[in-house]
Structure 1
Amino acid sequence: MKESGAQEDKSPSELIDGRIKQLGDWRGEMLSRLRALIKQAAPEATEEWKWRGVPVWEDAGMICTGETYKAVVKLTFANGAALPDPSGLFNSSLEGNTRRAIDFRQGEEIDEEALKALVRAAVALNRAKARR
């Protein structure tokens, strides 16, 4: 989805860069770190900019969104309920039948290997669904 005005000609990746810079605090730094881990785990994933400013990563379907709030940066996995989470990363939106999320708070460490495994599992699930 294209934003109106000056953002109209920017790519989704440029818009995400702009959001990170605009935040200018720990949330921008956290979103940038999470973005880098997603790219490492799913190098073929594309970045999208949807719903008036939400970064979205896709590979054969939606992997996750990266939302920023006052107290958290939230990664919401579109099909998180169907993903294995042996490290227990999911800590939000646990009541639903489809989505699961991870809330990252200021100063929290990221279990990088567990997050990358979760991203790879989401891509594998998307690709398996696409083959059906």
Structure 2
Amino acid sequence: MTKDWRVDRVEEIRSLIKEAEPDVVEEIKWRKPSNPDGVPAFSLDGLICTLEMYKGKVKVNFAKGSSISDPDSLFNASLQAPVGRSIDLHEGDELDSEAFKTLIREAVKVNRK
């Protein structure tokens, strides 16, 4: 069986979040029979984002995404949602590491307001 690309992508994103904000707290939430591993949730002075695997994509949900400056236009999902914003990543999609880390830092700034 080949390794699932989504697992590697989740690990990459987890590392970027911790590089951007070393004090971030990661918790596993919302365990259920259909998702026994739960959902990684990252917080620092409030929820920053969650990281979910779906069939065919990895989704990074930013809890207060509509309040976060996104000059590099990383958000590509839930753009009309009243509060949150998301980044959907499919196999082979590029993710600008520095822009993503900036987005994480911006999310923490929003939490601290």
Give TM-score scaled by structure 1 length: 0.78
Q: Does 1 or 2 have the higher relative contact order (CA < 8 Å, sep 6+)? A: 2
Which residue of 73, 84, 87 maps to 1:88? 73
Task: Identify, as 1 or 2, the structure richer in strand.
Answer: 2
CA RMSD for the aligned pairs? Answer: 0.7
Partners in 1 of 2:110 and 2:92 — Cα distance? Answer: 31
Which structure 1 segments of 5+ residues have no match?
1-23
Deviations 1:14-63 (A, max 9, x none): xxxxxxxxxx4100000000000000001100001111100000000000
Structure of larger gyration radius: 1
Which structure 2 residues correspond to residues 23-102 of structure 1 after superposition, within 5 A? 24-52=3-31, 53-102=38-87
Aligned residues: 105
Partners in 1 of 2:112 and 2:24 — Cα distance? Answer: 12
Deviations 1:67-111 (A, max 9, x none): 000111000000000000011000001111100000011011110
Give TM-score scaled by structure 2 length: 0.91
State yes or no: 1:104 paired with 2:89.
yes
Task: Identify, as 1 or 2, the structure richer in helix.
Answer: 1
Which secondary structure does the structure 2 equivalent of 1:74 belong to?
strand
Q: Extract structure 1 runs of 4+ deviating beyond 4 A.
A: none
State yes or no: 1:121 paired with 2:106.
yes
